[in-house]
Structure 1
């Protein structure tokens, strides 16, 4: 897929400076003449799979309901006011993956997935806000968007969805195929299908600091090294046997104070955390993998490309792929960094790579993490 304009004449730098995390942006014909990458039937088929995360939201009568897939059957397309949401379509469809790659002016560490929302007339998920940035690209039909900078976060009680109780829209737009709406985090919005429609949502990761903190402590638990045992040779008799003494508290506190993460610790944790595939992701190794020698020969002519399911990043001398990390020397980085940035390495790059890198590429090929281009 060729590079698309996307931002309505704005450069990525201008968009990030003036809109990102700041205010909404409506872009008419962000992708002129855009048509759906998947048919309705192909999308529905994805909701039957247990390796695809999907949800069904209905608003029949005055009752909201949400169900989680996989689904043996969805409501009829002629029935109004229902929506199915299919997460991570980019993991399962080349066209969706290529579309999401158009948004890589935002770092991979932040880019999450492409979700497709199919809705019948009147369908939606109610007025709500998200904790992350999102691009909403209309793919088929029309959708009415009502948006507003609501400061009232009160939710309707007793609902299976987080629906705002006092939503006050400030602007309304009807999006047609090719139109796109960007919304920053915490900006309230309500999308309502006008007839049958499909909307593609490109979302971004915003892990909470609590989530990161808990993950980091778990990560550090595997590398903590505090030799020795608690000792109190100067212990004196006590009249308060249930009290934890101040000397014990001070000694333990002094030992725990030695646990001080380095910048490398943080980099390794974050790289492994951000590159870890989601639980529903399964890789497809080749049925008849080539031997190392044959793989190097073939890749040296065709190049290699990362699987659309693979997450690969780097920080300094550290390289991360699918939750694993290793240190790469300067020469090896010459091959691995372009592979991470471009998600492919051409034949010349493979041929010029060190034997260690070539063996690593072969191991990733055997695991289904990359394939021959």
Structure 2
């Protein structure tokens, strides 16, 4: 039976797997990817490595076996070769299409919505496995995943972590023996996913999969969760502005002698406690850490794409009745000043007259806005401001213009 989002967040996120059957969902995944879509991506879209790889029995397939030049006018040498993929696939090699949240429109929109729901970065790969073939050995990932079974059947075997909540620099290959030993024990989950089924696998959980019968296609939706360690990392970085923590260790110290280093570690911890207790340091550091984490989040996520030609057309046809909205997924810092309001995104900073502040905040709320109804601006000024924000990719056209009223 499907569960509420709050229950998933409290009882499964980062903690325990969750199996959901097709009959418990209100919809399936046909709108995200299909067998025909995979064929189209491989044969007609000019996909290049590293957006694809192949593997068999846990080993990667040599790239030259499934890529080739695109021919006249597209002489790049690493485009997918559909005939090469056919031969390798028939020989039991699994095809992995990577970064589909950047390639395939339904998954671009799906990933964007999921980022907004989860608050963490998302990626989408697809695994296309020949009948009765295994792609990779038992392993764990350093990110959480949702497995969405698109077609065929695949048997999934899950074992508990040997290293809970692994960080990105703590891959399963560092613990091969422990992983292999755990994989020989009784599994926590041993199940077959069929079309429309899904499985949540927290990072660190050991898993392997094998296609059954016909070709199996599934999506792996990876979620790279920000962690408490990330907060700690950014907290420590705020101390770079404090001279106490930039001072050198003594001349002549033996850094290979733990007893010689230990007193300096204890002194450092004491200074950290003292620094955290000083004046308004806790509040200031909280804001500094939040700002750093926010900047990192915007670096690794992307807003919804814009349509350049359609936007140019909307700018030309813009009227008081046109409807626009903030570009989905675009993170920005808005600063009000006496003489201006500034919108700063990951890639640019746009400065507008202070009279535009209310309109900018109205747009930033995420609600669709009628141009002629923007707060604090007359129609002519609103048209100028919206054209500028459309040009900069900060707002986007939302729908057909609202019919004029009598």
TM-score normalized by the length of structure 1: 0.66
The structural deviation recorded for 1:140 is 1.6
Aligned position for 2:40: 42
The structural deviation recorded for 1:211 is 6.5
2:370 to 348, 358, 365: 348
The structural deviation recorded for 1:200 is 1.6
Q: Is the 8 A contact 2:154 2:210 kept in 1?
A: yes
Aligned: 1:191 with 2:184: no
CA distance in 1, matches of 2:232, 2:43: 38
Q: Is the 8 A contact 1:274 1:323 kept in 2?
A: no
Aligned pairs, how many?
327
Aligned position for 1:84: 96
Larger relative helix fraction? 2
2:149 to 138, 145, 160: 138
CA distance in 2, matches of 1:124, 1:219: 44
Q: Which aligned pairs between 1:119-138 and structure 2 lie closer than 5 A?
A: 119-121=129-131, 122-138=133-149
Aligned position for 1:14: 7
Q: Is the 8 A contact 2:16 2:202 kept in 1?
A: yes
CA distance in 2, matches of 1:26, 1:46: 35
2:20 to 17, 22, 27: 27
Aligned: 1:336 with 2:364: yes
Q: 1:326 to 1:18 in 2, by over 3 A?
A: farther
Aligned: 1:200 with 2:219: yes
The structural deviation recorded for 1:116 is 2.2
Q: 1:301 to 1:349 in 2, by over 3 A?
A: closer
Aligned: 1:165 with 2:180: yes
Q: 1:126 to 1:213 in 2, by over 3 A?
A: same
CA distance in 2, matches of 1:176, 1:316: 51
The structural deviation recorded for 1:329 is 6.0
Q: Is the 8 A contact 1:272 1:323 kept in 2?
A: no
Q: Is the 8 A contact 2:123 2:221 kept in 1?
A: yes
CA distance in 2, matches of 1:79, 1:291: 50
Q: Is the 8 A contact 1:271 1:320 kept in 2?
A: no
Aligned position for 1:249: none
CA distance in 1, matches of 2:103, 2:326: 16
- With 171-180 and 289-298 compared, the bigger mean Cα shift is at 289-298
Q: 1:136 to 1:41 in 2, by over 3 A?
A: same
CA distance in 1, matches of 2:116, 2:135: 29
The structural deviation recorded for 1:64 is 0.9
CA distance in 2, matches of 1:289, 1:34: 30
Aligned position for 1:306: 327
CA distance in 2, matches of 1:284, 1:364: 12
CA distance in 2, matches of 1:360, 1:275: 25
Q: Is the 8 A contact 2:47 2:80 kept in 1?
A: no
The structural deviation recorded for 1:58 is 1.2
Q: Is the 8 A contact 2:162 2:178 kept in 1?
A: no
Aligned position for 2:55: 58
Q: Is the 8 A contact 1:314 1:337 kept in 2?
A: no
Q: 1:369 to 1:191 in 2, by over 3 A?
A: farther
CA distance in 2, matches of 1:295, 1:163: 63
CA distance in 2, matches of 1:320, 1:192: 47
Query: Which structure 2 segments of 5+ residues have no match?
Result: 68-77, 165-170, 254-270, 337-341, 399-406
The structural deviation recorded for 1:282 is 11
Q: 1:305 to 1:59 in 2, by over 3 A?
A: same
Q: Is the 8 A contact 1:96 1:114 kept in 2?
A: yes
Q: Is the 8 A contact 1:135 1:201 kept in 2?
A: yes
Q: 1:335 to 1:357 in 2, by over 3 A?
A: farther
TM-score normalized by the length of structure 2: 0.61
Deviations 1:39-70 (A, max 9, x none): 112332588445x852413115xx61266895
Q: 1:174 to 1:348 in 2, by over 3 A?
A: same
Q: RMSD value over aligned CA atoms?
A: 5.0
Aligned position for 1:366: 391
